[in-house]
Chains A and B, each alone.
Chain A
Amino acid sequence: MHREDFPMLKKDIIYFDNGATTLKPQCVIDSVVEYMTNHTSNIHRGDYDAAVITNKLYDNVRNIVSSFVNCDSREVIYTSGATQSLNMVVFGYMKKHLKKGDEVLLNKAEHASNILPWIILSKQIGIVIKYVPLDNNYELTLENIKRCVTFKTKVISLAQITNVIGDVRDVYNIGKFCHENNILFNVDGAQSVPHMRVDFKNCYMDFLSFSGHKMCGPTGVGILVGRYELLEDMDPLCYGGGMNSYFEENGDYELKSIPTRFEAGTTPIAQVIGLGEAIKYLMKIGMDNIHEHEMKLKQYLLDKVKDIPNIIVYNTSSNSGIFAFNIDGVFAQDTSIYLNSYNIYVRAGNHCAKELKDEINIKNTVRVSMYFYNNYNDVDRLVDALRNSKDIFKIVL
């Protein structure tokens, strides 16, 4: 779908690395170029014409995000990406509200950005991290979560879609469970928000983090959505211009209101504008259409690789456009270099989910991650390349 919108697809490439970052459509490129060409200016002041245009576009992105994920626009904080958003939750909110012995439930399929901050916090203040076991398909179930909850459980933090296995977690029922049990629910939406409809309020989320560049937007911008009552009691991690109302020699100061108090310094203005454009673009295509299209392609790929010997697939059941595999006996990176010789772009590695190796007993996989602009022809070419992979070392060596 919509391949003609993407300048990079004019080249003969098959882009299957959408979990890492996505291609940019012309409308997003144009919006960034337009800002840089015709109305460059800083925000927070509107004394001249270009600044008025910029301010209006910039501020409106909060409204776009709020209708996209169903939250209040004052609950939308601009960040540099999902990683910064998650760090703000852990060190801006949790550090202030958790105490020694409080338990946080994670799981081993999480991205580094939703594990390492917690590990640091546990060293700083003594919270206890517990890993909820995954089921036989390496997926996370509410039943397993319930088994790990104790009266000390204060937070459940998880990716709505994980970036290696690609399972879609039942955030509605997990959120409801958290809500009923007074547990904070922190959702990493980096892989879900770009690919399916996500509902912040309806799923009782307390925090939701995602990145612009994984959803057709520019790099360097992301979003943290936080429940307003919680944001009132969250500390900024950064202090400086743009986020204070006043400060005095004697140390008195007052911070600006929410959400600007969390956005110190000059923010990524061009990127925020580009992200707004990207979200409008995605909403026009329809998130349900995107998800459905990816699922069709994934099923088509699964059916086709079934009869190729030597292909080990790790996530046949997961409900997203992520496909994790290895060619038996071939190191993941050799496979990705081989596929590059067919102009097929995939990713090899542990995908920042370093703890997953304990669960699947294999450290590195090759990941194909799809988006709406991939088509059956892309899958066919991947399948052909895999069929020919008997001679893989003739190509890569």
Chain B
Amino acid sequence: MDNDLRREIIMDNYNDPMNKGLIDDNSYLKTRTSSESCIDDLSFMMKIENNIIEDIRFDGEACAISTSATSIMIRILIGKTVDEAKKILNNYKNMIEEKDYDKNLLGELAVYDSISKQPNRKNCALLPNRAINNMLEELNKKNN
């Protein structure tokens, strides 16, 4: 991908992220991520109904990479089934970790396809991944 376009997508999502700001609603799953190796600290909430992701929201302070990745991830996941979401999250993780992945599933998330060149930023890119996986696990526990 052309570098200017990549930067533009990231900056658009950083400056005007999707669904930033939490709401008071107990029907949402909730989680807070902060990483050991960096200072990003975001809170997430997600609503799942009939196995479909209806809404994901977030708030907090984080760097350009994690904020934009969260925004793009939210845009892509809303409306997907839980299984589809898991597949996207897995593929995304594989991309960040330089393993095989299916580009067609990832849409704009492909802007992070060379983040592994900056190893200190991999965690930033994976932050939304971890948060959403946490909430899916919590859902799993609830359902069992």
Interface residues, chain A, with chain B CB atoms under 8 Å away: 331-334, 337, 348-350, 363-364, 393-394, 396-397
Contacts and interface: CB of A to CB of B under 8 A. Distances in A.
B11 A364 contact: no
The 8 closest A-B pairs by CB, nearest first: A349-B39, A333-B63, A331-B63, A397-B7, A334-B63, A397-B10, A334-B64, A333-B39
B7 A394 contact: yes
A397 B61 contact: no
Nearest to A362: B61
A292 to B, nearest CB: 33
Contacts of A348: 39
Given A333-B38, A333-B39, A364-B61, A397 B6 contact: yes
B120 A337 contact: yes
Contact of B40 (A333, A337, A394, A397): A333
27 contacts: A331-B62, A331-B63, A331-B64, A332-B39, A333-B38, A333-B39, A333-B40, A333-B124, A334-B64, A337-B118, A337-B120, A337-B121, A348-B39, A350-B39, A363-B41, A363-B61, A364-B39, A364-B61, A393-B7, A393-B10, A393-B64, A394-B7, A396-B64, A397-B7, A397-B10, A397-B11, A397-B64
A331 B10 contact: no
B33 to A, nearest CB: 15
Given A348-B39, A349-B39, A331 B7 contact: no
Nearest to B41: A363
Nearest to A392: B64
Contacts of A364: 39, 61
Contacts of A332: 39
Interface string B104-133: 000000000000001011001000000000
Interface centre among B6, B11, B61, B118, by most chain A C-beta atoms within 10 angstroms, is B61
Contacts of B120: 337
The interface residues of chain B, by DSSP majority, are classed as helix
Interface of B: 6-7, 10-11, 38-41, 61-65, 67, 118, 120-121, 124
A393 B11 contact: yes
B46 to A, nearest CB: 24
Contacts of A396: 64
A396 B118 CA distance: 9
Contacts of A393: 7, 10-11, 64
Given A331-B61, A333-B40, A348-B39, 11 more contacts: A333-B39, A333-B63, A334-B64, A337-B63, A337-B118, A363-B61, A393-B11, A393-B64, A394-B7, A396-B64, A397-B10
Contacts of A350: 39
Contacts of A333: 38-40, 63, 124
Interface centre among B7, B38, B63, B120, by most chain A C-beta atoms within 10 angstroms, is B63
A331 B67 CA distance: 10
A331 B118 CA distance: 17
Contacts of A397: 6-7, 10-11, 64-65
Nearest to A396: B64
A337 B6 CA distance: 18
Contacts of B61: 331, 363-364
